[in-house]
Structure 1
Amino acid sequence: MAEAPWITIIGLTEDGPEGLAPASARALAEAEIIMGPKRHLGLLPEDGRQRIEWPVPFAEGIEVLAGLRGRQVAVLVSGDPFWYGAGRAISRAFAAEDWRAFPAPSAFSLAAARMAWPLEEVLCIGLHAAPLARLRRELSAGLRAIVLLRDGAAVADLATFVEAQGFGDSILTVCEALGGPRERVQRCDVATAQAGGFTAPVCVALEVAGEGAAIPRASGLPDEMFETDGVMTKRPVRALTLSALAPRAGEHLWDLGGGSGSIAVEWALAHPRCSASVVELREDRVALIRANAERFGVDRIGVHQGDTLAMLDSLPAPHAVFVGGGLSDALLDRLTVLPPGTRLVANGVTLEAEALLATAQERHGGELMRIDLAHAKPLGAKRAWAQAYPVAQWNVVL
């Protein structure tokens, strides 16, 4: 018979033990040791049992907890431990038979109840340990979001960020200490929120309004949304390239010869769990790639400066590969021995690159396509077609 769990994760609201369900209250009463952040420990009356304050950084607390094996330990957390909570880290660090969890209403649930917002229609996002820029991809007029923040000062930071994206007419309902005697709910405009004066624990029910630009969901974002030195995969070709790369949730991309990083950015925007490794030789373009990743709030992009061939062995294994620059026989030889199922897309503009791609397609199959684009431009008093350089694109599943 398996041993009973020795770790009990107990979700608290700001009501402290008074708000616990009967099963949670019994588990807390049976614990020999109580471990949690200072604020959570302060919600409990002193009863002589050993208390351990969870250290910062958080990972050090896992080591402390491991040293308590053989004792009955109650770990106090906020609300639901598996919704932006400590449950993930604890469950990964210990075997399933070592722990059990008793959730309480999350801050999302409490805030939705105060706002009368159906949770299934609301974006719930934890930014207490993530950059505010992660919200950028979601911002659009009419969005309702409940945002967890690290402290009271972050409310002003959120208001400033939203205003900077062109949504200065937004309303922020600041929810402090929900579910407890210190609960305070204030509806603010951006200017009032920027004035500060809020305290943790805090979340914001955000109603987005303004004339800011929402990020389109289709592939092929407008070129002007990116910072660039002129070297980038332009919008129509980028849309075709992303279609060929076919990003799926949780997949990793190699973007080789990153330029401005537009392919990697759009790949990462396709799903929050998509990630990318970008390799670029030039230092100035590495800075552009990082700036664009920050602009769009995609933080799952690793940027590497150096020679592409020299970098490949140090990168996480890809599900898809895009070659936008630095095409060579040696690079194609290296890429075509990647594991079966890897999707490979390579674009070339020069005759030499086109010849390489034609040879690769003959050897390895796939689709070879030539993309010819022309734009209408003035020609004296009239207009005429201005032909762009044709792009050869090879697309293959290895």
Structure 2
Amino acid sequence: MKHIFSKTLLVITIIYALIGAYFMLNLSIGSGDEQLFISDLNFINKEGWIKAIEKGISLPHALIVYPLSKILEPYIALRVTSVFCLLLLYYYIYRRNKPTLWFFIYFTFFIGTAKVFFIGTNDAFFIMALVIFLNEIHKVIIGKEWKPSLALIALVIAIFTRELIVIYMPILLLGMFIALKTKKIISKQIIAPSIVLVMCLIVNIPAFMLNGKPSYDAKKPPENVNVNWTQRQYLAQLLVNEGKLPNYQHPSFVETQNYINENGEDALPKSLLQSLFFNPQLTILEFYKDFWSIIYFGSRQLSLILLIVIGCFFINIKKLSLLNVKNYIPFSLVALTSIFALLIISYVELRWLVPIFIMAIIYYAYLEKVGDITKKLSVANLALMLILIVYGVYRIVPELIMI
């Protein structure tokens, strides 16, 4: 009976994910950050790779998408790449973890609202690389065989794909420390990662020479506009709090420049570090608001898994210690949630947290597999998940009819 129920639930989550995927794949071309990556492909065609690297592109991602864009429309090539990264992630987890059917139920439910795997950005590529690295570290922690070459290649690719890697770097370094302390790496296991690293450094030479850092995509302001994204985000929250801008929206770069012109150069912080101390009261207020926002909207994507894994963090601290290796995934989840809530004065986009959300699913499924999750918690998680599926379908069907 239990086997029939689990298979039925898997079918339901697959249908739910397909409905969500159909809706997201039918979003208007160039919506969100997708236009940035379409323009990158057009820029490469027009100006060449050297100029594109100097301007700033997501190089590993562009090298994969570009050949596809020669036979498909750029936006299709980008979206196909995102979906392919998702399929690779399914395959990787299936081969490396041999998870239970329940994992695929939880993961597929999550995919039903994971827009990043169905739009043409580099998010899916970045997420895939980070999940592979983090999962290999998790295998070390639970005493399973890990693949250091695969983990390090994935880490190198992630480093050169998105500048967001800076936020993840503390938990990645901690993971590497745990792995090296537990397992030894022999010389032949670093040959392939070293080759990938050297190749990434070589192709980034134009960016290093001009900008002093690897080539990354960036939302740059128009010419003659001297404001940055941090200032734009900070102004967004000020305007939202004043009721002059809808929540989850941003003013344009030009509007931000006009605000600076009217109020002076020091009217807005110029960096993330400055924004933390620019108005301490606002920073604290937005931290609590953003933290709650992550928990609320994250729970809509993960059901009770998010809260349960965060709960494991505090339980493990009581039983073990803060940095005990068994607490690595829960600690990373709490740490990244707190860091994003603290650094981003305007709203936090959940796509930034998808790698650690997926690891939370892997961690929870593992705890269930070894019997560390009570039956009541499992049932409560499934019950809420079914409610969220019904709610999600109810919300999306009217929009599907209009497509």
Instruction: Name which structure has the greater RCO, CA cutoff 8 Å, separation 6+.
Output: 2
Report which of the two has the higher share of strand.
Answer: 1
TM-score range, shorter chain: under 0.3
**Structure number with larger C-alpha Rg:** 1
Q: So what's the TM-score if we normalise by structure 2?
A: 0.24
